[in-house]
Chain A
């Protein structure tokens, strides 16, 4: 599962108090090569829950995401940050 998907998953079990986020237990980590698309990442950033993504990424032993994302990230200035997010999602 992509972490992007994990970011959207929420529990629907009746009686569960904290439905989101779902806990993550790593079975196998697979890295997939994909073409970096900065515009795509920017769009996703506006829809993601960033802290949840960061936590999930660190569970997968990827710790390159800063605690706070830049206020208004752009393609020109925050290339490295966007790359990191892309790698994560």
Chain B
């Protein structure tokens, strides 16, 4: 089969048409001539500006934005091509040479002009196997470069300076001296318009003008803007974090790695996402990642002899609170293949004593430390064969994580540091008492401390009367107290709900409409009446089109007052006895209500009420908090019934001055009263004081909310998971 464009070189076209993702070999830029499209699918939400592109041939029969798209896993991507979308207008705003030079020593730069921008090739030293590709967003580039005199001048300048020979301008970026990485090799092409780039997600502007108004991608940072990791521990933490480079020699490293690889690796059972799973080995005691506690009752054998030397040198570092030396008795070996990391966490207070140390073998990486109280964060570069020791505040309060990426930016190092397979060995001392008296309850997982909380919930759930009290004090009164703050922090409607509460013609979701409609479709027609039961601050009432009528109700009088101030038709009512007549609504929504209801019987009553006030054949949409929170959530629900704290800023508490006097900037801040909430503690975060109030929650297991509606006789239209909620869409019988 012949390609449309005739090329002078012979291209392995046949190979491409089979499967470009299996491509390997030295004709690395030839794919650009084929009709393959490059699709960017981030390997995880946390990947910072670096994506692994996939190649697929556009299916001619299937027109549309993502023809023939399938789910790809991390390992399936072409290992030879890297994509760096450094900002929206790569090529027009960024110095391309600087970008290219990050990957290694630039030997030459060639510019092949084309009518609409051109191709810029960077050639690096050595090995022909590797190829790096920098691609900008096609439509952006096309627009910008077509008439961009500045870019054309830049190209012309590059052309005169370095066509086919070593660049003449000073090269401020030298090679990275490292035995692990040979000089980066191959060619880097900046293809202004030739490659067709289809973005699966939008690339953030990272502080630059977001001209097209597209949303940022959560957790993504472009390389140019990424804060470099530091090589030295910040002074204020020097007393509790120490980094010893060259703690073990290269021979020792080799011996330890051989020792570890000849021992059996286990797959850890971490989380829901397969890409998170790492291989581990435990010695001394087993650490369970799903409960985040050490199994202190069952020791699993002594440390292996291949680690003995390193342990001996490390022992002087292990001291407890009184300065008494206690040797580590738990060791965890973890494997991090390039691109894998570990989520933000604090090492278990309940399971382990103070000092935690870790040796990095095989590859360097960056560990990001974060202070949950102040929000301060920094990345620390961990070189190969280095020893990291944390204690005190750094171990008990600060959390740490290893970002899931393949390249790290480190201060003082011109080029990005590439990660390869890293093995970490962490040493800890097991805490047999499981009790912790630290000063950092925000990070503490002492089960007795948390159990005390759970015990009080259980007390309330014992009989019907106390359940009512539970809901009155820790739901109704809670919301009355926090109404102003709650409303101020709840302004963005969840896109899927907004999509559902719209008429199709209005296309409120724009380019994402098709995507959303695969989960749930716009349900409204002009003239429909919508009921929002538990409307909170009226967040969803606001978005309902003017061609439809809407009414809301909420248990909290204070929230209702805020809604009415905004002009919504809202009244105070109890979802257990909704004061509307049968079939009043065409569509009913009940968002974030069910997880405040304390018994199955009450939840069933509400389900029946929701259906009663909906017309026959009408739809009911329900959202309720899931027990299975996704990996980013700070809340891990171990039990389905619990108190969830709310931090109310002091300004919102009565007795303090604050808030606008005439409400011209929106509803005036509602002042709550110090009341009878369970132990209203005060905590300090980021230097400000907050009153801690408790909210009762019953979080739902997968399938539970669905089950609730099955017994009502209505039809389940669809169920899904959205923003840490289990959601169900139900249709009332037509009668």
Give the B-binding residues of A (Cβ under 8 A): 1-2, 4-5, 8-13, 19-20, 37, 39-40, 42-44, 46-47
Contact = CB atoms under 8 A, between A and B. Distances in A.
B592 interface: no
Contact of A9 (B526, B527, B547, B581): B581
Contacts of B529: 8, 44, 47
B579 A12 contact: yes
A81 to B, nearest CB: 17
Contacts of B526: 39-40, 43
B413 to A, nearest CB: 63
A10 B527 contact: no
Contacts of B584: 8
B580 A39 contact: no
16 contacts: A1-B569, A5-B551, A8-B580, A12-B577, A12-B578, A12-B579, A20-B581, A37-B546, A40-B526, A40-B527, A42-B527, A43-B526, A44-B527, A44-B529, A44-B549, A47-B529
Contact of B547 (A2, A37, A46, A47): A37
Nearest to A14: B577
Contact of B549 (A4, A12, A39): A4
A43 B528 CA distance: 8
Given A40-B526, A40-B547, A43-B526, A9 B579 contact: yes
A8 B551 contact: yes
Contacts of A39: 526-527, 547
Nearest to B609: A12
A1 B571 contact: yes
B577 A43 contact: no
Question: Which of A2, A4, A9 lies at the interface centre, i.e. has the most chain B CB atoms within 10 A of its CB?
Answer: A9
Interface residues of B, number: 17
Contacts of A5: 551, 569, 571
Interface in B142-184: none
Nearest to B577: A12
Contacts, number: 44
Contacts of B577: 12-13
A1 to B, nearest CB: 7
Contacts of B569: 1-2, 5
B214 to A, nearest CB: 33
Nearest to A2: B569
A9 B549 contact: no
A47 B569 CA distance: 18
Contacts of B551: 5, 8
Interface of B: 526-529, 546-547, 549, 551, 569, 571, 577-582, 584
Given A39-B526, A43-B526, A43-B527, A10 B580 contact: yes
A58 B527 CA distance: 25
Minimum-distance CB pairs A-B, first 4: A43-B527, A12-B577, A10-B581, A8-B584
Nearest to A12: B577
Contacts of A19: 581
Contacts of A37: 546-547
A9 B577 CA distance: 12
A37 B549 CA distance: 12
A10 B579 contact: yes
B554 to A, nearest CB: 14
Contacts of A10: 579-582
B552 to A, nearest CB: 10
A77 B549 CA distance: 24
Contacts of B571: 1, 5
B578 to A, nearest CB: 7
A43 B527 CA distance: 5
A37 B584 CA distance: 21
B546 to A, nearest CB: 8
A50 B538 CA distance: 28
Nearest to B551: A5
Given A1-B571, A12-B579, A44-B529, 9 more contacts: A1-B569, A5-B551, A8-B529, A39-B526, A39-B547, A40-B527, A42-B527, A44-B549, A47-B529
A44 B527 CA distance: 6
B533 to A, nearest CB: 13
A73 to B, nearest CB: 14
A47 B581 CA distance: 12
B579 to A, nearest CB: 5
B555 to A, nearest CB: 14
A13 B549 CA distance: 26
Contact of B581 (A4, A8, A42, A43): A8
B726 to A, nearest CB: 27
A9 B547 CA distance: 21
Contacts of B527: 39-40, 42-44, 46
A9 B549 CA distance: 14
A69 B528 CA distance: 21
Contacts of A2: 569
Nearest to A49: B581
B354 to A, nearest CB: 59
Nearest to A4: B549
Nearest to B586: A47
A42 B551 CA distance: 18
A10 B584 CA distance: 10
B475 to A, nearest CB: 19
A85 to B, nearest CB: 13
A2 to B, nearest CB: 6
